[in-house]
Homo-oligomer: A and B are copies of this chain.
Amino acid sequence: MNMYPSTWLWEFPTPNEAIGRAVDQIILKKRTRFQELVLADTPQYGRMLVLDGLCQSSTSDEFLYHEPLVQLPMIIHGAPRSVLILGGGEGATAREALRWRTVEKVVMVDIDGEVVDACKKYMPELHQGAFDDPRTELIIDDALRYVRRAKTKFDVIVSDLTDPSEGGPASKLYGASFYRLVKRVLAPDGVFVTHTGLVAPTVTEGMRKVWAGLGSVFKYRLPYTSYVPSFLCMMGFVMASERNITAVPSADAMDKIIKTNINGSLRMLDGAVAHALLTVPCYLRDILHASSKHK
C-alpha cells in the first residue's frame, strides 16, 4: 500500500529542483496551439492552472500573487482609469483591476484563447465575472504585436506572462526592447509592473535581468516580492515609471487610497503589508543596488 497519494503533478522549476503536488482529479489536459494546458484539483492548493508543466495559479493562494501584482502599482499610481494586462489568461488580474472605482477600461491581451476559455469555464473563483464586466476588452493576440500597434495609452500596464523559457510563448516579452514598446503605450505618469520569476539568494538572475532592462528604459524602478505557497517560492516583481514612484505613500495614506477606491476587501494587502513587500531583504537590495551602479 502506498503511504503517499498515487496521482501527482510534477514541475521542475529549475533543472536541480522538482516539486510534486498530489492531484485529486485532472479537470482538463490538452495541448493548445501554444502550450500544454493542465487544470487539476489538488488537496493542498485547490484548483490549479499549469502551463507547460509550470504552476500558474491555484485557487487557495492566487491572491498572494494577484493582489501584489495589480494593487501595488495601482495604489502607487493613485487613480488609474485605464489598465492594460499582458497575459493574465485566468482573468484574476483583470478582476483585481476592475475592483477600482476609478477604472473605466481594462484591456487584456492574451495569446492563448484556449487558456482563457478553460479558465472562464473551470476557474470561476479566479475571474469572478471579470470577462463579463462591460469595462473589460479581451483581445486574443500576441502581446508584442498589440503593444507595437496600440494607439491609446494606459495608466497602468501589468505584465502577467509565463516565464521567459526558451521557445515558450513569452520568451520575447522580457528585456529592454520590449520595455521600450511598452513605454510607448504607457501614460506619461503611468506605472508598468512585471513579475520576474522566483527570487532566492542563488536565483537572482531573473530579477537582475528585468531590473537592468527596465533601468535602461525608465527613470524610476521599485522592486518587491511576495511569497506564493503553491509556487513553493518567493515571486519577484519590479514596477517602473517615468514619475518618481520611489517616493512611496505612507502606510496610512495607502490605507486611505484602498478604502476610497477599491471595492471589497483585500485578503493579503493593506498599507503596512504593502510596505513590507516593498522592503526586500538586504541581500537582494544590495544586489540590485550594485547592478545599478555598474551600469
Number of identical monomers bound together in the oligomeric complex: 4
Query: A201 is contacted by which of B64, B200, B272, B280 (Cβ under 8 Å)?
Result: B64
- Measured in the bound complex, the distance between the Cα atoms of B1 and A283 in whole Å is 28
With an 8 A cutoff between CB atoms, is A60 at the interface?
yes
Query: A9 is contacted by which of B6, B168, B233, B266 (Cβ under 8 Å)?
Result: B6
Contact segment of A42-50, A79-87, A176-184, A239-247: A42-50
Q: A24-B29, A25-B26, A202-B60 are known contacts. Are A4 and B14 too (CB-CB below 8 A)?
A: no
- Measured in the bound complex, the distance between the Cα atoms of B177 and A95 in whole Å is 47
Chain B residues lying within 8 Å of A267, measured Cβ to Cβ, are 282-283
| Chain A interface helix/strand/loop/mixed | mixed
Residues of A200-244 at the interface with B, using a CB-CB cut-off of 8 Å, are: 200-203, 225, 227, 229, 232-234
With an 8 A cutoff between CB atoms, is A279 at the interface?
yes
Q: Check A19 against B18 for contact (C-beta < 8 Å).
A: yes
- Closest B residue to A21 by beta carbon equals B17
Chain A residues proximal to chain B, CB less than 8 Å:
1-12, 14-26, 29, 36, 38, 40, 42-46, 50, 52-54, 60-61, 63-64, 165-168, 198, 200-203, 225, 227, 229, 232-234, 266-270, 272-273, 275-277, 279-283
Contacts beyond the supplied A7-B29, A17-B21, A270-B282: 13 A-B pairs with Cβ under 8 Å: A1-B168, A3-B3, A3-B12, A4-B12, A6-B53, A7-B26, A8-B9, A17-B22, A19-B19, A45-B202, A63-B283, A273-B279, A273-B282
